Amino acid sequence: MKFLKYMLLFTMIFTSCKAKKNMIDVTAIAKDMSARKVARKHIAANFDRKTLDAKLKVNFDNEKTNQNLSVSMKIKKDEVIWLKGTKFITIFKAEITPTSVRYYSSFFKNYFEGDFSMLEQLLGVKINFEQLQNLFLGQSLLNVKEEDQDVEIVNNAYILSPEKQTELFDIFFTINPAHFKLDQQAIINSEKNLRLEIKYPSYNLIDNEVFPSQIKIKAKNSKRVTAIDLIYKTVVFDGEVDTSFNIPGGYKQLEF
């Protein structure tokens, strides 16, 4: 009996410790800290795995089209982002590398092969491969260590912004004091009525990696507002991922 009691007690303690280890401290308080230190901590929290294999639920709404899709996403870090969207059947596939975007829709029988103009039209701002990768991983679109930053604490979060904003855009990063990943990032051009907001409402601790569980993207220009909501359903790190991609023949080419 005593042996069973001790085993039960050990199991309870071990399980409790393991659960605490895998929890994110949502009670963390944003303490006074220099902008340089906040930037360093955010960079240190960057995603540090070789591959990502994820299943997502995605809602896309651009005021003309409202579509819900299941999306498979595979990332070989710094090499390729591979996407497949389905709704009963495959709707589209895409391959994005640092130098090109390739896309085709087996539903609409069209394809695109070229630069990032397709994504820039979708989001309303210029974006490159590294920035798109960072968007999916909860990291800042721009390197917060390349330029001197200002910092202030608002609603228990650190707001980083460049001391000298660019001529075209104002940029803001909202960093969570619990894990120093992003709560939100925004790129704003008031003159042209352009605004890109990316929010990260929550994170999970997966295999000791703090990773977004949801991403809400809102891109606004003078013509329309595009909203893209992503919910990660499953996430696997550092496995083998197949990112093979071939555009079928006979499809109509899209121009942007």
Instruction: Report pLDDT for 21.
Output: 40
Residues in contact with 228: Cβ distance below 8 Å, sequence separation at least 6, in sequence order: 58, 59, 60, 61, 216, 217, 218, 219
223: phi then psi, degrees, rounded to nearest 5: -100, -40
C-alpha dihedral, 27 to 30 to 36 to 42, nearest 10°: 20
Instruction: Report pLDDT for 189.
Output: 84
Cα–Cα dist 163/148, whole Å:
6
Q: What is the mean pLDDT of each run of 10 residues along the chain (256 residues)?
A: 43 37 72 95 95 97 90 98 95 96 95 90 82 94 86 96 78 95 91 88 94 95 89 97 96 89
Cα–Cα dist 42/44, whole Å:
5
Domain coordinates of the chain in residue numbers?
32-77+140-238
Residues in contact with 20: Cβ distance below 8 Å, sequence separation at least 6, in sequence order: none
CA R_g for the chain: 21
Q: Which amino acid is at 61?
A: D
Q: Establish how many alpha carbons lie within 13 A of residue 173's alpha carbon, considering only the half-sphere containing its beta carbon.
A: 29
Residues in contact with 180: Cβ distance below 8 Å, sequence separation at least 6, in sequence order: 38, 41, 42, 44, 45
The whole-angstrom distance between residue 154's C-alpha and the CA centroid of its chain comes to 22
N-terminal to C-terminal alpha carbon distance within the chain: 74
Instruction: Report pLDDT for 14.
Output: 39
The structure's pTM equals 0.85
Instruction: Report pLDDT for 238.
Output: 97
Neighbours of 245 (CB within 10 A): 17
Instruction: Report pLDDT for 109.
Output: 96
Instruction: Report pLDDT for 118.
Output: 85
Instruction: Report pLDDT for 205.
Output: 94
Instruction: Report pLDDT for 23.
Output: 55
Nearest to 151 by CA among 142, 143, 159: 159
The fold for domain 32-77+140-238 equals outer membrane lipoprotein receptor (LolB), chain A (2.50.20)
Tokens 């340089």 locate to: 36
Averaged pLDDT of the chain: 87
